[in-house]
Amino acid sequence: MKNNIGLDVQKSQELAAMLNDLLANYQIFYQNLRGFHWNVKGKEFFELHLKFEELYEDAVIKVDEIAERILTLQGVPLHTFEDYLAQADVSSFKQDRVGSESVKIVIKNFTTLITKERALLSKAADADDEGTASQMSDYITETEKTLWMLNSYMG
């Protein structure tokens, strides 16, 4: 059986579930970035304050795009922090982080996200879901470049 965009209903539901997992992880990642932006201290303040802002602005756009893709697949996006915390593999950080210690956490979070994006890309290809595949392909390209830059920053 096909849904209203011509994809297999079962495969679309599986993709929507995987996208909800990605959504939960991006929401926690976004909130971590906000905290790092607010609480960064030390001689790296100016550069990291701006970098964390750039990253959280990008993350919030992705959150909306992921939720809209879930809706396109006729799923229901998660929307409570209880759901996000229960679902996410990205950990929420409560304590203040200083400088490059925060960057290490961001790198770890991006590594989790890109793993999930690659799994979604593969699943989307199997489902002939070009929309999700294209979205994940774009995210992977951006994440790879960002990881390269952050790892270069760390030396």
Note the pLDDT of residue 80.
Answer: 97
Mean pLDDT, residues 103-121: 98
Specify if 1 maps to a domain.
no
Q: What is the rounded CA–CA span in Å between residue 78 and residue 99?
A: 32
Task: Look up the domain containing 54 and give its range.
Answer: 9-154
Closest C-alpha among 154, 134, 146, 125 to residue 59:
146
Contacts of 40 (CB under 8 A, 6+ apart): 48, 49, 52, 97, 98, 99, 102
Instruction: Kindly report the number of other CB atoms within 10 A of residue 155's CB atom.
Output: 5
Which CATH number covers residue 103? 1.20.1260.10
Mean pLDDT, residues 132-141: 98
Mean pLDDT, residues 89-96: 86
Q: What are residue 2's DSSP bridge partners? A: 8
Closest C-alpha among 3, 7, 43, 2 to residue 132:
7
The pair of structure tokens assigned to 76 is 């229901």
Specify if 3 maps to a domain.
no
Reported as a single tens digit per residue, the pLDDT across 51-65 is 999 999 999 999 999
The model's confidence at residue 98, banded by pLDDT at 50, 70 and 90, is confident
Q: Collapsing DSSP states into helix, strand and coil, what is residue 2?
A: strand
Note the pLDDT of residue 94.
Answer: 78
Specify if 43 maps to a domain.
yes
Mean pLDDT, residues 94-123: 92
Evaluate whether 33 touches 106 at the Cβ level (below 8 Å).
yes
Q: What are residue 8's DSSP bridge partners? A: 2
Q: Average per-residue pLDDT in the chain?
A: 96
Residue 74 clears pLDDT 70, i.e. is over it: yes
Reported as a single tens digit per residue, the pLDDT across 7-31 is 999 999 999 999 999 999 999 999 9
Evaluate whether 64 touches 10 at the Cβ level (below 8 Å).
no
Domain tally for the chain? 1
Q: Within 13 A of 14's CA, how many CA atoms are on the CB side?
A: 15
The pair of structure tokens assigned to 121 is 């890309």
Note the pLDDT of residue 69.
Answer: 98
Specify if 130 maps to a domain.
yes
Q: Please give the share of the chain, as a percent, with pLDDT higher than 70.
A: 98
Specify if 2 maps to a domain.
no
Q: What is the rounded CA–CA span in Å between residue 74 and residue 19?
A: 12
